[in-house]
Chain A
């Protein structure tokens, strides 16, 4: 019965080695040594031919049993070892999650375009289209058709940029040119009234120019948003409601607005709109000059003279217009101390927003 003894000895030896194996790699070596093509167990099975026939059944059964036992022990041990190895790997791979990430930071949107977009979206929501005009404009569209008197100081060389007129025409107003860098987006109103079907609900954002030296509170170029509504039955109450809605959307629903009568050549009646100071809540503080209010825009009902320039009948239609300076609102909303920062392209400024 030496073969049977042999099998039994081998079984205990193999099981002992399985129990002693320290890693899945070592276990795998063992598995191959025992169960591989040249493995000891495989050798036993191959040697079955030499076993006398009467013992074959017994030996065969024993060898099969041995294989089952070894495989089961290998599987069990593998599981143990793999699990331990995984634990070890996981603990070795633990990170300091507070270390910096690996990502290319997204770029940022400029404060002015961000605000412009925000304002445009408010008005799109109540049915306005966005139109644009050219920045270089004739005196007619920038002033005359907006009912600006011919001698108004704003038309002078002191206030408005004029550009060289290369058409060869003799300009009437300044003696040199009647082509200007637009000083307001209001000219878009005139073009729109000339070119569009009624009713009109438009918003016109764009760059405008004034002859100011760049300093913390002035820029020679800045961004204006012009709004225009012309429809049947538009009232002053509609103007108020529209701009109150706008102010609450942009500044917050807790903010109040007030309308102060004012004078603009292209609207009558005209008003300036203040929003209650966000810092003091309207009581009066340093940032609102003690008044509790911050001036944010000018507006009014379209002056019948303007309709006269574009052939709209003021007996049938009425409407309102408003214009606001985006830079001013940016300063109010974000406390930007110096307007020039908006044009410097300083990465440290741009990346704040």
Chain B
């Protein structure tokens, strides 16, 4: 809501320091979104006095004037001297005082004033009309100022044109602040001072009774609690007086004509939206009366609004209807609270005005303006709610003002459709409870004074809020009002002292934090990507156990690129890989924890699963003077996952080769499922080059995605103690040539099982392939076996026997052959 400080000052005392004023408004709940100073545009335009007026020798309509501008023009000795200005206006005589734009000034329309020659005569400045100063439309001649206007004074100062426009954010619960009157009342409340309604309007001449000209029918009081109609006859539509132009302009509207400007002015002044119909355009009944009907629109009804757009309506829209038209069936002439119609618009020829002052359902108005994308000053007020109690009084003021500025007579009385009188609620205000609630001992007389200033009728504990505050419907609403006016800043700060609470992190929360720490310890950087992805991304990856689940689709996406919810974090991370690679960053180590989403037929709320995913691309490091740069592969990812499982204390880890059908987004042969025992935790692998290409990432990219709940659920709490070895271990190496199909896991299994309790450790230290020397599809795997007894040093006999048994089993179980 734009508030002219100049206008506001006519209603209430406003502090001179606007910064202080703004802060006070901020701290009492009316946020100031900006302050704009106007009048600055008239810089360089001053009061001047025309000393001489001589005809131009070469032009019939031009005059050569000499103009006194005081100190603004000095001669060589520094003494004030007059300016020569060539002027085309005719409405002045020597001695007149006029606005003079000096050389260097810029007119409000952007025209710069320069030294010029007009038909050979030098002109140093410009004598101005009202329109040239942006003050109304009068272009008939120079703006002749009062004879006592002080020469040399800036015109903005002399005409009191400078103003500050404060832009207030009015919260949805404050319909009363959508007017100058309301803001003045609010200012008076917070500064504990008085306010007035402002400009007086003379009583208008009175005409015939209005009910002989209009009748009003309200179909449904829920749509329209009150509709008043007045008639002003014999108006002359024309330009508005300057003061009216200035005020509607300051409020952010455009001056249209005197009749429309009055309706806007009253809306800005009092908060009551008005609509002026051309009475002549409405159909009369046998008694010569127009019939206004307020009712719901017909479905698919078409109607052309003032802005010349034909719109399709529905039964949720409330219409103002010319009830006599169309053979008594009625035709829509306006959309209630939103916009008038083209056919009943006030024009230059309009003579008789039907003035509507009404309240409409805020919900319907709000839906209608949203549906039709029609937002107006009127709809903004109806959306919040307009006070039914004052419809009539405000309309009377509007009618009188219309008669003042446009002439005519105001018909006697009002046609007032007010089916159900609105009853003000009587509320309880328990002072003691209020103090306990706020935590401040606010004295009762201060409470009473504040409530009274707010317009309430106070008889504690009973409080009746004023009609313009429909938001005050409960005791708590009154608490809020008293607190904000008394001052939130005055309430002492305390901390709750409850006994039954412990600030604890659950085990899951602790472990989630551990996961993040571990991955960071492994060198991965935490990131965040969009949950909203494109449908094509969402089909790239699906956890094996989620394959039958659908993606969650948005009804109203912003764009197709973000129209479904992700089913895997991987596509987002791959996009980040591509983002980095395209910017020359090649070593990429990222992880993200977050939800993935699955819909299923018959289920309202989709399933959300918390996942942990990571990607690795490039190398761990750039090559350095003392380090090589090794390209990352599957085993780097596996190492990260193993570290994580170890840190979470997850037992029985297993990596099982993952079939390419089950995980088509991974490169066949470089993909694994991660298990704890038989529980699937997730997958790990190198992303399929085709998937990388689809997301513009450069392969190889190692990735993993683990189910957070499964991880946390598998994590064991206790870590049992085992004796630190006292006796030395004996290590023996084995090299075994086996078929490619025999996995390292299998070899270790056989060795572990054959070695029994005396086998302390087994480790693969080399894998070697050579088709010529060991055969195609075969590999040589070298392992180190450590034997140790917890209670003694093993003898060489014992070890030899055991080792031989292990070797025999190994050969027998794998079909391999030992290399020597």
- For the complex, give the distance between the alpha carbons of A57 and B675 in Å: 84
Give residues of chain B (359-401) contacting chain A, Cβ–Cβ below 8 Å.
362-363, 366-367, 370
Q: From residue 259 to 298 of chain A, which have CB atoms closer than 8 A to chain B?
A: 259-263, 268-272
Contact A162–B555 (Cβ < 8 Å): yes
A235 contacts partner chain B, Cβ-Cβ < 8 Å: yes
Q: Do the beta carbons of B521 and A107 come within 8 Å of each other?
A: yes
Known A237-B491, A304-B476; judge A166-B532 contact (CB<8 A).
Answer: no
Interface status of B462 (Cβ within 8 A of chain A): no
Chain A 140-170: CB-based contact to B (< 8 A → 1; otherwise 0): 0000000001110100111001111111110
Interface positions, chain B 464-489, Cβ under 8 Å from A, are 474, 476-477, 479-480, 483-484, 488-489
- Taken together as a complex, chains A and B put the C-alpha atoms of A220 and B529 apart, in Å, by 12
**Nearest chain B CB to A35 CB, angstrom units:** 34
Please give, as numbers and ranges, the residues of chain B lying within 8 Å of A150 by CB-CB distance: 363
- Size bin of chain A's contact surface: 35 or more
Q: How far is the CA of A103 from the CA of B180 in the complex (A)?
A: 69
Determine if B595 and A207 form an interchain contact, defined as CB atoms under 8 angstroms apart: yes
Q: Is the CB of A157 within 8 A of B495?
A: no
Is B749 part of the contact surface with A, judged by Cβ < 8 Å? no
CA distance A230 to B688 in the complex (A): 52
Chain A neighbourhood of B355, CB < 8 A: none
Rounded to whole Å, the gap between the CB of A316 and the closest CB of chain B is 12
The CA-CA distance from A241 to B599 in the complex, in Å, is: 43
Cross-interface CB contact of B363 among A151, A259, A262, cutoff 8 Å: A151
Given A112, A163, A259, which contacts B552 in the complex, CB threshold below 8 Å?
A: A163
Does residue A348 face the partner (Cβ distance < 8 Å to B)? Answer: yes
Task: Please tell me if the beta carbons of B26 and A106 are within 8 angstroms of each other in the complex.
Answer: no
**Are A262 and B29 in contact (CB-based, < 8 A)?**
yes
Among B174, B529, B531, B590, max chain A CB count under 10 A is at B531
Which of B28, B172, B476, B553 has the most A CB atoms < 10 Å from its CB? Answer: B476
Q: Please indicate the chain B residues that have their CB under 8 angstroms from the CB of A235 in the complex.
A: 436-439, 494
* Chain B 533-569 near chain A by CB (<8 Å), digits 1 or 0: 0000000000000000010111111100010010000
Q: Report whether B526 and A107 are in contact in the complex, using a CB–CB cutoff of 8 Å.
A: yes
CB distance from B769 to the nearest CB of A (A): 29
Please pick, from A162, A232, A269, the residue contacting B556 in the complex, using a CB distance under 8 A. Answer: A162
Query: CB distance B626 to A99 under 8 Å?
Result: yes
In the complex, A21 Cα to B610 Cα: how many Å? 74
**Chain B residues whose CB sits within 8 angstroms of the CB of A134 once the complex forms:** 605, 608
B29 partner, pick from A124, A261, A345, beta carbons under 8 A = A261
User: Is the C-beta of B602 less than 8 angstroms from some C-beta in chain A?
Assistant: yes
- Any chain A CB within 8 A of the CB of B270? no
Residue of A nearest to B618 (CB): A347
Task: Determine the distance from Cα of A207 to Cα of B610 in the docked complex, in whole angstroms.
Answer: 12
The answer to whether A108 touches B520, judged by C-beta atoms less than 8 angstroms apart, is yes
Contact among B556, B579, B591 with A346 in the assembled complex (CB-CB below 8 Å): B579
* B212 beta carbon closer than 8 Å to chain A: no
Within 8 A of B (CB), among A211-252: 211, 213, 220-221, 229, 231-238, 240-242, 244-245
User: Contact at A136–B484, with CB atoms within 8 Å?
Assistant: no
CB distance B521 to A106 under 8 Å?
yes
Stretch in B85-93, B115-123, B581-589 with 4+ CB within 8 Å of A: B581-589
CB atoms of B483 and A136 under 8 A apart: no
For the A-B complex, the count of residue pairs with Cβ-Cβ distances under 8 Å equals: 271
Q: Which A residues are CB-close (under 8 A) to B495?
A: 126, 238, 241-242, 245
With A and B bound together, what is the CA distance between A261 and B583 in angstroms? 47
Q: How far is the CA of A179 from the CA of B25 in the complex (A)?
A: 39
Q: Report chain A residues within 8 Å CB of B496.
A: 201, 229, 231, 234, 238, 242
Which of A99, A229, A346 contacts B585, CB < 8 Å? Answer: A346
A318 & B437 in contact (Cβ 8 Å cutoff): yes
A149 to B366, alpha carbons, bound, how many Å? 12
Residues of B within 8 A of A107 (CB): 519-526, 589, 591
Is residue A110 within 8 Å, beta carbon to beta carbon, of the partner chain?
A: yes
Compute how far the CA of A334 lies from the CA of B603 in the bound complex, rounded to whole angstroms.
42
Residues of A within 8 A of B550 (CB): 166
Complex-state Cα separation, A220 to B565, whole angstroms: 13
Q: Does B757 contact A (CB under 8 A)?
A: no
Select from chain B the residue with minimum beta-carbon distance to A240: B493
Q: In the assembly, what is the distance between CA of A236 and CA of B588, in Å?
A: 49
Q: Mark A112-144, 1 if CB is under 8 A from B, else 0.
A: 110001000001111111100011111000000
CA distance A146 to B565 in the complex (A): 25
| Given known A261-B480, A304-B476, contact A124–B523 (CB-CB < 8 A) | no
If the complex has contacts A164-B599, A258-B27, A345-B527, are A127 and B503 also in contact, measured as CB distance less than 8 A? Answer: yes
Partner of B503, one of A123, A176, A258, A342: A123
Per-residue CB proximity of B497-520 to A under 8 Å, as 1/0? 010111111100100010010011
B530: which A residues are within 8 A, CB to CB? Answer: 220-221, 343
- CA of A244 to CA of B532, assembled, Å: 35
With A107-B524, A229-B496 already in contact, the answer to whether A162 and B608 are too (CB < 8 A) is no
User: Of all chain A residues, which has the CB nearest B519?
Assistant: A107
Instruction: Please give, as numbers and ranges, the residues of chain B lying within 8 Å of A49 by CB-CB distance.
Output: none
A351 contacts B525, CB within 8 Å? yes
Q: A129-B503, A235-B437, A348-B585 are in contact. Are A102 and B555 (CB under 8 A)?
A: no
Residue in B closest to A303 when the chains form the complex, CB atoms = B476
A47 within 8 A of B: no
A109-B520, A136-B552, A346-B583 known; A220+B526 contact, CB < 8 A: no
Q: Is the CB of B491 within 8 A of A304?
A: no
In the bound complex, how far is the Cα of B523 from the Cα of A167, in angstroms? Answer: 44
- Assess whether B792 is interfacial by the CB under 8 Å rule: no
Judged by a CB distance under 8 angstroms, whether B627 is at the interface is yes
Q: Are B531 and A207 in touch, CB under 8 angstroms?
A: yes
Encoded as 1 (CB less than 8 Å from any A CB) or 0, chain B from 570 to 601 comes to 00110111011001010111110011010111
A156 cross-chain contacts in B, Cβ below 8 A: 370
**Residues of chain A with a CB closer than 8 A to B327's CB:** none
Q: Does B480 contact A269, Cβ atoms closer than 8 Å?
A: yes
Q: Which A residues lie within 8 Å of B488 (CB)? A: 236, 240, 259-261, 269, 271
Establish whether residues A163 and B554, one from each chain, have CB atoms under 8 Å apart when the complex forms: yes
Tell me if A350 is interfacial: C-beta within 8 Å of chain B: yes
Q: Is A337 an interface residue, CB under 8 A from the partner? A: no
Minimum CB–CB distance from A23 to chain B (whole Å) comes to 30
CB-defined contacts of B579 to chain A, threshold 8 Å: 344-346
Tell whether A162 pairs with B526 under 8 Å between CB atoms, given A109-B516, A179-B605, A345-B579.
no
New A-B contacts (4) at CB < 8 Å, excluding given A113-B516, A167-B603, A269-B488: A107-B524, A179-B606, A220-B532, A304-B476
* The 9 A-B residue pairs with the shortest CB-CB distance in the complex, in nearest-first order: A345-B576, A235-B439, A237-B439, A261-B29, A263-B171, A241-B493, A167-B604, A269-B480, A107-B520
CB pairs A–B below 8 angstroms (9 shown): A127-B501, A130-B505, A157-B555, A174-B555, A209-B531, A236-B439, A236-B491, A263-B174, A269-B484
- Interface residues in chain B, defined as those with a beta carbon under 8 Å from any beta carbon in chain A: 26-29, 31, 171-174, 362-363, 366-367, 370, 436-440, 474, 476-477, 479-480, 483-484, 488-489, 491-496, 498, 500-506, 509, 513, 516, 519-532, 550, 552-558, 562, 565, 572-573, 575-577, 579-580, 583, 585, 587-591, 594-595, 597, 599-606, 608, 620-621, 624-627
